[in-house]
Amino acid sequence: MNSYYFLFEISLILFSTKLLGLISRRIKLPQVVGALLAGIIIGPGVLNLVVESEFIMQLSEIGVIFLMFIAGLETDIDALKKQGKACFTIAILGVLIPFALGLGTTYLFGKFGMQDVMGDSNLFLESVFVGVILTATSGDTGKAAMAGFADVPGTRIIVFYPNGGVSPIQEKQMVTQKGDNTYVVAIEGNFDQAQSAVKAIFGDKELAKEMDEKGFQFSSANSINIGRLIPQVAYYVYAYAKLFAEGKVSKDQKINVVVPTGNFGNILAAYYAKNMGLPIDKLICASNENRVLYDFFTTGEYDKNREFILTNSPSMDILISSNLERFLYDLTGCDDKLVSEWMKELNTNGSYEVSADVKAKMQEMFTAGCCDDAETMATIKKCASEYDYVIDTHTAVAKSVYDKYVAQTGDTTKTIIASTASPFKFNQSVLIALEDHNAVVGKDEFTLLKELSEKSNMQIPKSLYELKDKSVVFDLVCDKDEMQQIVSDFLMVE
């Protein structure tokens, strides 16, 4: 079974589950009956899918998807929280226990749906082990993960972020997060160093054995876990469906997609969508001044041996793109030995070069571009002037790269540009772009939020403005070499 058929099957099962929930409510079946039907009908299909799948060795990553089936049983998540404990337990029995007994799962979501679903997963988690969600973040993932797992029984979550490497609003979101099971630490280093340290902890067999003996099991919440990445496939399917519904594309008309990326996760989801049948022509990879992906798609050589640049699009300040390994695995016909050799070269020498045929395959589907901070700021101002639409710095990178691509190629194919963040999270940079540096001098973050709202005619997201009255809960800063000890201390492992 190839990876695209696997993803198609996953999407089909998710849809089927949602449909079962809708039918159950429409004919007024009790929720418990609906959940039991879902477990009976879908459980065997899921089990068969996993048994046949080439992903059998990756269940620690994909196990999260099966919990998503339960979310499909009830559109009204608040109602599920109030009434659905029994439904949840029965559906767990119908679908998940075979995996727990014979294969093992992990209990993790990315931003998409994580908070609502994890709130109801504790019945199963408490009975098996304590799931320790260990995550490095370049900005948004940390807050989303902490909010999703806060005070969920049977879980602990520890988030590391680069000190000075996220926006002030992003940092405020994380350090004010409440929850007895949450912990966030700034590291003196960059995102790559934080993520590499997290991977090293995952790979420490002695530590894993010690944790297992004490009832802990590690997982992650950023895109190194495929459970975070797979739901993003739906973004591109939905966007195309909207274009078709509005008459902007005809049936099977191809589009291009531009994604601002550093870790190669979101654009990999678009690649999966393309290979599942979505009519995408070119995937355009947009980089900031940390242009390692641009250079890779241009030359075929991946080289992280370069200066790490702090930019005004900090969530893309990455030189080690973890998800590129998944892409190369697929592109080489699932040649794990070849990809493993490249990854060893990256770890040892800081670089590797793909073969000419792999390079040709990449360039057939992908093109890449990059822009610097000045171009990013100019694009924000240009968009506001021409379209009366204010974008954040990361989206501006994508728009700048797209404009260059059209100028260079003359390709006017209908194009989706992935807008990946709110401008309010990067209010300083956006206001400077719209006006000048004087617009932010001597003003706190919440004054800037108000001024950006007035300037853009956009409403401040309530969750951001409420940060004003929240107290800082976490203020620890550590060296990257201290991260493992921080984890042990938090879990009270001697």
Tell me the pLDDT tens digit for each residue of 384-404. 999 999 999 999 999 999 999
Tell me the pLDDT tens digit for each residue of 203-257. 888 888 888 888 888 887 776 777 777 778 888 988 999 999 999 999 999 999 9
Question: Are 65 and 10 contacting, i.e. CB atoms less than 8 angstroms apart?
Answer: yes
Q: Are strands 130-136 and 216-219 parallel, antiparallel or unpaired?
A: parallel
Average pLDDT, the chain: 79
Q: For residue 316, what pLDDT is reported?
A: 93
Q: For residue 231, what pLDDT is reported?
A: 79
Q: For residue 85, what pLDDT is reported?
A: 39
Per the model's pLDDT, the better-predicted residue between 81 and 29 turns out to be: 29
Ranking 63-72, 142-151, 466-475 by mean pLDDT, the lowest is 63-72
State how far the Cα of 111 lies from the Cα of 114, in Å rounded to an integer: 6
Instruction: Report pTM.
Output: 0.74
CA contacts within 13 A on the Cβ side of 70: 29
* Residue count (the chain): 494
Ranking 50-59, 122-131, 146-155, 455-464 by mean pLDDT, the lowest is 50-59
Q: Are strands 477-479 and 182-188 parallel, antiparallel or unpaired?
A: parallel
pLDDT at 380 over 80: yes
Task: Give the residue from 284, 350, 293 showing the smallest Cα distance to 318.
Answer: 293
Per the model's pLDDT, the better-predicted residue between 60 and 488 turns out to be: 488
Max avg pLDDT among 133-147, 290-304, 473-487: 290-304
User: pLDDT exceeding 90 applies to what percent of the chain?
Assistant: 57
pLDDT at 51 over 50: no
CA contacts within 13 A on the Cβ side of 278: 27
> Which residue type, as a one-letter code, is found at position 14?
L
pLDDT at 358 over 80: yes
Q: What is the DSSP letter of 425?
A: G
- Helix residue ranges, H only, 129-232: 140-149, 168-175, 191-203, 205-213, 226-229
Q: For residue 20, what pLDDT is reported?
A: 52
For residue 372, name the pLDDT band (cuts at 50, 70, 90).
very high
User: Rounded to whole angstroms, what are the CA distances from 418 to 70, 150, 236, 284, 392?
Assistant: 28, 29, 9, 11, 11
